[in-house]
A and B are shown apart, each in its own frame.
Chain A
Amino acid sequence: MINWATISLEDLAGYLSKELKKRGIDLILVGGACVTIYSRNQYQSYDLDFIVYEDMKEVKKALKELGFIEKGGYFQRLDCKWFVEFVSSPAAVGREIISEFEEIKVKTGVITMLRPEDSVKDRLASFFHWNDRQGLNQAIEICAEQNIDIKEIETWSISEGFEEKLTEFLGRLQKA
């Protein structure tokens, strides 16, 4: 039995992943919720962004069965504080299409989500393109909590054409 008022972000992600999988729909968790999980709540996201490759009509039907109401592009239950959103596919960071994902088991199910490295790249992409300092901080918070392959981050950043901002990220990371 789900306690909607107190369910955690990751337990909701696990629950939705399990319930939609039963209906033949695979969810991939991306965005800020991945940062929350990987940074061990250093950053708190309030929405679950999923990528889905199946027909959205089926997704909407499934969420309706689970008590979620669609409003302004989001899905929400009135008794639950988290929002659910479906972002445009494909799963990608910059020009790089993502095909490998992490699977983490929580008490309500198994979450398929961005790997920690891709979550760092995702946040850095906001810093690179929009000078989003929050994105930079979140990337550093993930690195502080996870064993990140920095070489992979460096290679990706250079291929995306952001060597200068990579240097700033690495400098901040050393001081962290």
Chain B
Amino acid sequence: MLEKLFGNPVIEKILFFLLVNETSYASELRDRLDVSLYSVQMALGRLEKGGIIICHPQGKTQVYQYNPRYPFLEEFKVFLRKAYSALPESLRRRVYEPPIRKRPRRKGKPL
């Protein structure tokens, strides 16, 4: 939908994924978006260079999120939310809103 604007379909997917899930890392994006790790890393690098996202190391993983200091963040997210709402619901649920447990679980707790 916005790939012509961003010049890259992976960028659009990453931006939508972070919009919905707030944080992510390269291998998760590869798996969820079904694109190559190389494409994800290139796109993340481009977005980071542009100041749109930032990454924080968590252990050995680089976790990405929107840069809260990006001056157009508020307006950009409004724009993205509108575009995201135009996606078919089935696609949103399958790719961007998977039913993955995100709430904490005590270590060692039986299922």
Contacts and interface: CB of A to CB of B under 8 A. Distances in A.
B74 A88 contact: no
A94 B51 contact: no
Interface string B53-88: 000000000000000110101100000000000000
Interface residues of A, number: 12
Contact of A88 (B51, B68, B73): B51
B68 A92 contact: no
A126 B68 CA distance: 10
Interface in B76-111: none
A88 B69 contact: no
Contacts of A73: 49
Main secondary structure of the interface of B (DSSP, over half): loop
Nearest to B74: A95
B50 interface: yes
Nearest to A129: B68
A152 interface: no
Interface of A: 73, 87-88, 90, 92, 94-97, 125-126, 129
19 contacts: A73-B49, A87-B51, A88-B49, A88-B50, A88-B51, A90-B71, A92-B69, A92-B71, A94-B69, A94-B71, A95-B71, A95-B73, A95-B74, A96-B71, A97-B71, A125-B69, A126-B69, A129-B68, A129-B69
Given A92-B69, A125-B69, 17 more contacts: A73-B49, A87-B51, A88-B49, A88-B50, A88-B51, A90-B71, A92-B71, A94-B69, A94-B71, A95-B71, A95-B73, A95-B74, A96-B71, A97-B71, A126-B69, A129-B68, A129-B69
